[in-house]
Chains A and B, each alone.
Chain A
């Protein structure tokens, strides 16, 4: 399972980076979306997968028996998803506003502020 997920994560990074390098703002945004999700999946996978063992302590016990799934990565991913969502929403608005004002939808042409 880890190997499969590792391959998926690698594929998502590749796709994300490829799209980031495109001159179209829309592809860039999609690339960012894919990249952030790749990172989330990486956190999930790197922390170790435990199947079918929820981190719940049975009644009457003070600690769980045997190995349990680590709940912390999920908390981290949840935070990361929320942040990525907000940032992506902002980026969408920024890109559409930029396209509106410059009349340009090619990132390679947006050079007025370049050194």
Chain B
């Protein structure tokens, strides 16, 4: 039995514990955290390579055969998501080596960062719904702490909303699990997929689908469950919001895609998801237009982007699902990067209100470049990665003769561009405004070591975006393989349960 499938869980686990042991040694904590994140990335890449060759990797915990024990299942989708989580983890860890304020590492910042990564990877690798619930909670607990670490007023008030709504989501999830267990007597996803077809209770299984949709919808910030996100995401330090923006909602999207391709494949559920996707895109982008705060604008864009990812799931064709997967990959990298940029802008100027920013193009030209690449990509300008992602999705919607959703997606892309231009003109162009009386001054000049630690992660993420932009076929090919696997649940079931079950 090889441990490879659970390495992305074990490595952050070990790192987090080491960081706790080194509680009073901030320097060693930083080294450990950096090494841990890099080895997580290496493990995730190996996992991705192995899974791409072999299709599925299944680990039965404790050697108990599938429906009885807990299975960890890695298909290409899980492996790809784990890799993306690791990429974000590395970037955020290195970025926070410089940016986390004095004292946060004493409070366990790096440890909780790795607990969070462990929870996220666990969610991607779980092959059992109850296990997924447990990983969700691990991830949430770590994110609660990261959200409120530091104890500023905005953080605590945002944290309250974040915590309560996510606990309600967990209650929905657990309710759904209880009813589901009562119906089919199993929690292994492959086993559920198989047994639910034989249970002739369409009403109850439709109700279950809705319960899962609500639970994961809250975590993915779908319309109308997104209100916790813009209230909380702009409050913690930039490194933390970058990690949240890149990964947490995407775990919800991952869970939605997993359950609604494997377990619930009814037509009406996907139609409902399509309507929700459209409303999510529209409300998210309109919310962003109304904001005048750097990170609040970006937070609202997360919501509208989640709409796109879910739109691919709702259309439910190979091309649309591949588009979704491509979109998730592109979005994680781009979005995390934008939040990192906003953090540097705050460092330089001490504020994130657009009205009090300006002239950064002259004082920090590299920052401006590093903003422009992800921002234009987010808006879907050719030839950047966001353009390809939107192209695949809109193409899929036209193929399905669903012109309305395609048109909405196009319009939302246009408004996204509008609000990226708004940030660009107000933050980077114009004159340097006179500092406000209550505003604490930013650092005009960053020491070289800090500047390197801040800029290197951003530059690597931007480089990654450019690579996806110039060679989209590499990622798209993988996305198509993922979609093929997702649309063929029989393969998944056989890989987990073995042919005989």
Residues of A within 8 A of B (CB): 20, 25, 28, 32, 35-36, 39, 42-43, 45-48, 70, 72-73, 76, 79-80, 83, 86-87, 90-91, 94-95, 97-98, 101-102, 107, 110-115
Are B231 and A115 neighbours in the complex by a CB distance under 8 Å?
Answer: yes
Are B141 and A20 neighbours in the complex by a CB distance under 8 Å?
Answer: no
Whether A113 touches B164, Cβ cut-off 8 Å, given contacts A36-B171, A48-B182, A90-B144, is: no
Are A115 and B164 neighbours in the complex by a CB distance under 8 Å?
Answer: no
Q: Give every chain A residue within 8 A of B171 (Cβ-Cβ).
A: 35-36, 39
Q: Give every chain A residue within 8 A of B177 (Cβ-Cβ).
A: 43, 76
> In the complex the two chains form, what is the Cα distance from A20 to B167 in whole Å?
11
Q: Give every chain A residue within 8 A of B155 (Cβ-Cβ).
A: 113
5 closest Cβ contacts across the A-B interface?
A46-B182, A43-B178, A113-B158, A98-B156, A115-B230
From B146-154, B304-312, B409-417, give the one contacting chain A: B146-154
Q: Give every chain A residue within 8 A of B300 (Cβ-Cβ).
A: 115
> In the complex the two chains form, what is the Cα distance from A28 to B179 in whole Å?
25
Any chain A CB within 8 A of the CB of B174? yes
Find the A residue at minimum CB distance from B235.
Answer: A113
> In the complex the two chains form, what is the Cα distance from A73 to B163 in whole Å?
26
Contacting B164 at CB < 8 Å: which of A32, A45, A86? A32
Are A97 and B296 neighbours in the complex by a CB distance under 8 Å?
Answer: no
Any chain A CB within 8 A of the CB of B425? no
> In the complex the two chains form, what is the Cα distance from A70 to B184 in whole Å?
13
Any chain A CB within 8 A of the CB of B249? no
Find the A residue at minimum CB distance from B154.
Answer: A113
Q: Give every chain B residue within 8 A of A43 (Cβ-Cβ).
A: 174, 177-178, 181
Are A94 and B181 neighbours in the complex by a CB distance under 8 Å?
Answer: no
B146 to chain A, nearest CB (A): 12
Are A39 and B157 neighbours in the complex by a CB distance under 8 Å?
Answer: no
Interface residues of B, CB < 8 Å — how many? 43
Contacting A20 at CB < 8 Å: which of B168, B170, B185? B168
Contact count A vs B, C-beta below 8 Å? 106
Any chain A CB within 8 A of the CB of B343? no
Whether A79 touches B167, Cβ cut-off 8 Å, given contacts A42-B178, A47-B181, is: no
New A-B pairs, 19, CB < 8 Å, besides A20-B168, A114-B230, A115-B291: A25-B160, A35-B171, A36-B167, A36-B174, A39-B178, A45-B182, A46-B181, A76-B178, A80-B174, A83-B137, A87-B137, A90-B145, A91-B163, A94-B160, A94-B163, A101-B153, A113-B232, A113-B234, A115-B231
Among A20, A94, A98, the one with the most B-chain Cβ atoms within 10 Å of its Cβ is A94
Q: Give every chain B residue within 8 A of A102 (Cβ-Cβ).
A: 153, 156-157
Whether A110 touches B179, Cβ cut-off 8 Å, given contacts A94-B148, A101-B153, A115-B291, is: no
Can you list, as one digit per residue, whether each of B233-270 has a CB less than 8 Å from chain A (1) or not (0)? 01100000000000000000000000000000000000
A33 to chain B, nearest CB (A): 10
Enumerate 8 A-B pairs (CB-CB under 8 Å) in ascending A order: A32-B164, A39-B178, A47-B178, A94-B144, A112-B153, A112-B157, A115-B230, A115-B287
Find the B residue at minimum CB distance from A42.
Answer: B178
> In the complex the two chains form, what is the Cα distance from A45 to B175 in whole Å?
11
B349 to chain A, nearest CB (A): 20
Can you list, as one digit per residue, whether each of B3-42 has a CB less than 8 Å from chain A (1) or not (0)? 0000000000000000000000000000000000000000
Are B287 and A98 neighbours in the complex by a CB distance under 8 Å?
Answer: no
Q: Give every chain A residue within 8 A of B287 (Cβ-Cβ).
A: 115
Q: Give every chain B residue within 8 A of A114 (Cβ-Cβ).
A: 230-231
Any chain A CB within 8 A of the CB of B130? yes
Any chain A CB within 8 A of the CB of B159? yes
Q: Give every chain A residue within 8 A of B182 (Cβ-Cβ).
A: 45-48
Whether A95 touches B160, Cβ cut-off 8 Å, given contacts A90-B141, A101-B153, A102-B153, is: yes
Q: Give every chain B residue within 8 A of A112 (Cβ-Cβ).
A: 153-154, 157
Among A48, A70, A72, the one with the most B-chain Cβ atoms within 10 Å of its Cβ is A72
Find the B residue at minimum CB distance from A95.
Answer: B160
Any chain A CB within 8 A of the CB of B134? yes
Find the B residue at minimum CB distance from A114.
Answer: B231
B155 to chain A, nearest CB (A): 8
Find the A residue at minimum CB distance from B179.
Answer: A46
Whether A101 touches B144, Cβ cut-off 8 Å, given contacts A43-B181, A46-B181, A115-B230, is: no
Contacting A42 at CB < 8 Å: which of B137, B168, B179, B234? B179
Find the B residue at minimum CB distance from A72.
Answer: B181
Are B156 and A87 neighbours in the complex by a CB distance under 8 Å?
Answer: no
A94 to chain B, nearest CB (A): 6
> In the complex the two chains form, what is the Cα distance from A70 to B181 in whole Å?
11
**In B61-119, which residues have CB < 8 Å from any A CB?**
none
Whether A76 touches B164, Cβ cut-off 8 Å, given contacts A43-B181, A115-B230, is: no
